[in-house]
């Protein structure tokens, strides 16, 4: 599998303030990479640097082996992007916007495909000044995708989208990725990003503090189980007697399973032996939001 995007030890300062510190990562062909971090961590700066919109102080960017800088944009012919807010001309229709962005090859087919996929057909021929926030956002996304690029950069693409539009976007991203398009997506809606990303880059204070696959992240820290019982006090006493460690979440008991010890089996056996009615056992895996919040809390403690 080939590498589409390489970000190599990228440094960026604005005046005396250094915003990026040796940022280093790559995105493979057909992969969806999620870029997450607190406000001000440097996510938009990275994306602007990738697109050659700002000069950098060190390091570099390559797209499909071609260098990108503020003076070298040839590789961007293979790139689609939506950064911050879509660029829209109020007196042009959505259709006219897409015709401006679409290349001359298969223009009509590409436009129709993306309009249908994003559910824009009922208003695509209206002037953009009449569009709602969500309509404008979909138009910006459509402009980024219409040429079927090799790499797509999306900064907060789910802003202003309703649940159906978010699902439509997710489906489009997965379909395009399956056909070889790579994505770098920044989003604060971590639950949605988690559903579509293959890899995650966690950024803090201009550093990549963690880079991992989404599958590995799901199992990070092990698996926990929430057990609902008919008698909470009796259940707590049973687990304490059996020396099974637990925490409490509301009216549920939380068990962190250790496969070698068989903690869940121990807990269930102890509850049954003490006559405690078990009404539900819910498996919980670690998610992107939990990892992100852990990072933020750790950073606050160290500050």
Comparing C-alpha atoms, which of 56, 60, 43 is closest to residue 8? Answer: 60
3-state secondary structure of 207: strand
How does DSSP assign 52-63, residue by residue?
TSS--SEEEEEE
In the chain, domain spans: 3-218, 223-285
**Domains 3-218 and 223-285 are alike in CATH topology:** no
Instruction: Compute the distance between CA of residue 189 and CA of residue 205 in angstroms, rounded to an integer.
Output: 20
Q: 3-218 is classed in which CATH architecture?
A: 3-Layer(aba) Sandwich (3.40)
Is residue 153 within 8 Å of residue 184, measured between CB atoms?
A: yes
Helix, strand, coil percentages (3-state) for the chain, rounded to 5, are: 35, 30, 30
At CA 238, angle to CA 233 and CA 242, rounded to 5?
A: 150
pTM value?
A: 0.80
Tokens of 251: 């009216």
Q: 223-285 is classed in which CATH architecture?
A: 2-Layer Sandwich (3.30)
- Tens digit of each residue's pLDDT, the chain (303 residues): 799 999 999 999 999 999 999 999 999 999 999 998 888 889 999 999 999 999 999 999 999 999 999 999 999 999 999 998 888 999 999 999 999 888 766 677 889 999 999 999 999 999 999 999 999 999 999 999 999 999 999 999 999 899 999 999 999 999 999 999 999 999 888 888 888 999 999 898 899 988 888 777 766 656 788 999 989 999 999 999 999 988 888 889 988 876 555 888 899 999 999 999 999 998 776 666 666 666 666 655 555
3-state secondary structure of 3: strand
Q: What is the pLDDT of residue 130?
A: 96
3-state secondary structure of 107: helix
For 125-149, letters b (16+ CB in 10 Å) and e give eeebeebeeebbbbbbbbbbbbbbb
Is residue 173 within 8 Å of residue 149, measured between CB atoms?
A: no
**Contacts with 216 (C-beta within 8 Å, 6 or more apart), sequence order:** none
Q: What is the pLDDT of residue 31?
A: 96
């Amino acid at each position: 599998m080939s590498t589409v995007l390489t970000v190599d030890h990228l440094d960026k300062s604005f005046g005396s303030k250094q915003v990026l510190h040796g940022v280093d990562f790559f995105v493979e062909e057909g992969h969806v990479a999620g870029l997450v971090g607190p406000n001000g961590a440097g996510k938009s700066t990275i994306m602007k640097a990738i697109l050659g919109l700002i000069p950098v102080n060190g390091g570099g960017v390559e797209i499909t082996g071609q260098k990108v800088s503020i003076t070298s944009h040839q590789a961007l012919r293979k790139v689609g992007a939506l950064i911050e807010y879509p660029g829209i001309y109020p007196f042009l229709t959505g259709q006219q916007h897409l015709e401006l962005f679409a290349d001359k090859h298969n223009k009509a087919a590409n436009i129709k495909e993306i309009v249908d996929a994003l559910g824009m057909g009922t208003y695509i021929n209206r002037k953009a000044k009449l569009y709602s926030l969500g309509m404008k956002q979909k138009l910006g996304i459509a402009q980024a995708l219409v040429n079927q690029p090799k790499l797509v950069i999306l900064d907060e693409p789910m802003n202003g989208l309703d649940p159906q539009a978010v699902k439509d976007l997710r489906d489009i991203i997965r379909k395009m990725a399956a056909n070889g398009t790579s994505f770098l997506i920044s989003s604060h809606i971590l639950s949605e990003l988690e559903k579509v990303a293959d890899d995650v880059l966690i950024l803090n204070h201009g550093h990549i503090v963690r880079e991992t696959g989404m599958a590995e992240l799901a199992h990070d820290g092990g698996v926990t189980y929430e057990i609902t019982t008919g008698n909470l006090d009796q259940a707590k006493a049973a687990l304490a007697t059996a020396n099974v460690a637990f925490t409490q979440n509301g009216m549920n008991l939380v068990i962190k399973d250790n496969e070698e010890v068989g903690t869940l089996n121990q807990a269930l056996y102890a509850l049954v032996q003490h006559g405690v009615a078990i009404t539900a056992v819910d498996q919980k895996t670690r998610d992107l939001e939990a990892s992100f919040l852990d990072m933020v809390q750790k950073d606050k403690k160290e500050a």
